[in-house]
Amino acid sequence: MKQLLALTILFLLPIPGFSGDVKGYWKLEKSEITYTATHPFHVVHGKTLLARGEGLSYSDGIHKFLVAVQVKSFDSGDHNRDLHMQEVTRAGLNPLIQVNVEIAKVADQKAPQQLAADVEIEFAGKKASYPKVKLNVLEWKGAQVHITGTVPLTLKDFEVTPPSLLALPVNNEVPVKLDMWWSRSNSKIKAGKK
């Protein structure tokens, strides 16, 4: 009986989800990205569920991900406000927000755990870097991981003039909350080697 149990465990080890190996190809399965703009009279939350992303985890422990979302996919609950947001962020010329994330040394598949990510965002025709953004691994089951975090984005970083209401501008700080579910794929890695 003990030999049968040991043999079963040996067969399960190479299967994703049973090993401590986190390298491979990853795909963003589901996400909710929310920005918060604060004005002296009210707080606005714009949300999108339409981000797309993929990533590669390398054997040296480095993990690189690319997430992209269209500016026009954010919904604040007010169509006119969303159109104005697209105008001030130059979405007509730069319709896509691209986020490059690099995480070093994910030790194992444990949850909860906190990771530090270097994040570069291309938005409104400009790029800004945010080093050591804290990401929280809430759940890690087999080849699926649930991660949250907040990027401390500011309008000034992207040379966006803060929109005004009654001659009062919104705050420069517009934190972006990430809530993402990633899945590791067994398929061959599509991108080139590191």
pLDDT at 17: 34
* Secondary structure (DSSP) of 63-85: EEEEEEEEGGG-B-S-HHHHHHH
Looking at residue 185, its pLDDT comes to: 81
pLDDT at residue 59, as a whole number: 79
pLDDT tier for residue 187 given thresholds of 50, 70 and 90: low
Model pLDDT for residues 50-61, shown as the tens digit of each residue: 999 999 988 788
* pLDDT value at residue 22: 57
* pLDDT of the residue at 31: 97
Position 30 pLDDT exceeds 70: yes
pLDDT at 113: 85
Is residue 49 within 8 A of residue 32, CB to CB? The reply is yes
Nearest to 165 by CA among 43, 79, 34: 43
**Confidence at 15, pLDDT banded by 50, 70, 90:** very low
- At 186 the pLDDT is 67
Comparing 3 with 133, which gets the higher pLDDT? 133
Residue 8 exposed, middle or buried by CB count within 10 Å (0-12, 13-18, 19+) = exposed
- Between residues 2 and 119, the one the model is more confident about: 119
User: What is the CA 104 to chain-centroid distance, rounded?
Assistant: 15
Mean pLDDT throughout 111-115? 86
- The alpha-carbon radius of gyration of the chain (Å, integer) is 20
Predicted local confidence at residue 191, as pLDDT? 46
Please check the confidence at residue 47 and state whether its pLDDT lies above 90: yes
DSSP 189: P
Q: Domain-by-domain residue ranges, the chain?
A: 22-184
Strands (E), the chain: 24-39, 42-48, 52-57, 62-70, 96-104, 113-123, 126-141, 144-151, 164-165, 168-169, 176-185
Q: What is the mean pLDDT of residues 94-103?
A: 96
* Contact status, residue 180 vs residue 52, Cβ threshold 8 Å: no
Bin 111: left if φ > 0, else alpha if -120 < ψ < 50, else beta.
Answer: beta
CA 36 – CA 174 distance, rounded (Å): 5
For residue 18, which phi and psi values (nearest 5 degrees)?
Answer: -110, -15
Q: Which residue has the tokens 């994330």?
A: 101
pLDDT tier for residue 23 given thresholds of 50, 70 and 90:
low
Percent of the chain with pLDDT over 90: 62
Give me the phi and psi of 12, to 5 degrees please. Answer: -80, -25
Q: Within a 10 A sphere around the Cβ of 94, how many other Cβ atoms?
A: 16
Task: Select the CATH number that applies to the domain covering 22-184 from these four: 3.40.50.450, 3.40.630.30, 3.40.50.1820, 2.40.128.110.
Answer: 2.40.128.110
Task: Quickly state the pLDDT bin for 165 (edges 50, 70, 90).
Answer: confident
